[in-house]
Structure 1
Amino acid sequence: MDKQQQYKRVFSHLDKNGDGKLSPPELQVCMGKIGEELSLEEAEMVAQLMDSDGDGLLSFDDLVKVVEGANEDERVNDLKMAFKMYEEKEGCGCITPKSLRRMLSKLGESRTVDECELMITTFDLDGNGVVDFEEFHHMMACS
């Protein structure tokens, strides 16, 4: 079963009245099932924010965008956590050749600082000798 089919199955399960749209009360029940309590007012606000055609209801496409967007947000958060493990000093915002060497060593891969400089050069888009989060994100998207 591919993603689209899975989404359709979930959508039809959530669409209790079968009208092809998720209403705020249906959204409220859905969120309750996954442990997130929403008031009806909050469900209405969420529906309005995510609704693409202005009818206050969520279509199948709206649901897919929400799920895909959440997946992307989760992926970016995971990348941020991974990036922090490689940073020179927490919060400095960059991976240096030394910090890359240190992390690779912890992972059981022995590299020299020169080898790490060469690795960084590959993804150092602005040429400053370090990898910032945007460059790290690009690097991970390429792998």
Structure 2
Amino acid sequence: MDKVSQYERVFKRFDENGDGKISPAELRQCIEAIGDEKLSEKDAEAAVTILDSDGDGLVGFDDFVKFVEGVKEEDKVNDLKEAFKLYDMDGSGCITPRSLKRMLSRLGDSRSINECQLMISKFDLDGDGKISFDEFRVMML
């Protein structure tokens, strides 16, 4: 089953009356049915307002997909931040040849400082000899 089919299935579960839109009331019912969480009417209306791109007070399928994809992108960025921290051992906010060498050694891949400098230079977009989080993100995505 592809992503769009999965999204459609979930969307249809929220869209109880089948009109192709999710209302605040439908959002509340679905959230309560899925888990122990209760969503107030005010919070449901606020959520729909945020997600509603055409201003009709309802969430269409395209709005729903954008929201789900946005959440997934945020999860990816959080995962990348965790991975980046493994290489940024000294907390400097960047991966240096020395920190890359240490991490690779921990992973059983022994490299020289020169080899690590060469590896970094391939992804060092600003030429400072280090990999920032933004450069790491470009490299990984």
- Under TM normalisation by the shorter chain, which class is it? over 0.9
Q: TM-score, normalized by length of structure 2?
A: 0.94
Shift of 1:34: 4.4
Q: What CA distance in whole angstroms lies between the structure 1 residues aligned with 2:100 and 2:38? A: 42
Give the CA RMSD over aligned residues: 1.2
Distance in 1 (CA, whole Å) between partners of 2:40 and 2:101 is 50
How many percent identity over aligned positions? 57
Pairing of 1:102-141 with structure 2 (within 5 A):
102-141=102-141
Contact 2:13–2:30 under 8 Å retained in 1: no
Please state how far the C-alpha of 1:30 moved relative to its aligned partner: 2.8
Correspondence 1:31 to 2:31? yes
Name the structure where strand makes up a greater proportion of residues. 2
Who is 2:74 aligned against? 73
Deviations 1:31-84 (A, max 9, x none): 331454321111111110110110111001111000000000000010011111
- Whole-angstrom CA distance in 1 between matches of 2:97 and 2:130: 7
For structure 1, the residue ranges without an aligned partner over 5 or more in a row are: none
Cα distance change, pair 62–123 in 1 and its aligned pair in 2 (3 A) = same
State how far apart, in whole Å, the 1-side matches of 2:6 and 2:112 are: 47
Structure 2, gaps ≥5 residues long: none
Moved over 4 A (4+): none
Aligned equivalents of 1:75 and 1:120: distance in 2? 22
Which residue identity lines up with residue 47 of structure 1 in the other structure?
V
Structure 1 letter corresponding to 2:103: M
Query: Contact 1:48/1:57 (CA < 8 Å) preserved in 2?
Result: yes
Q: 1:72 to 1:35 in 2, by over 3 A?
A: farther
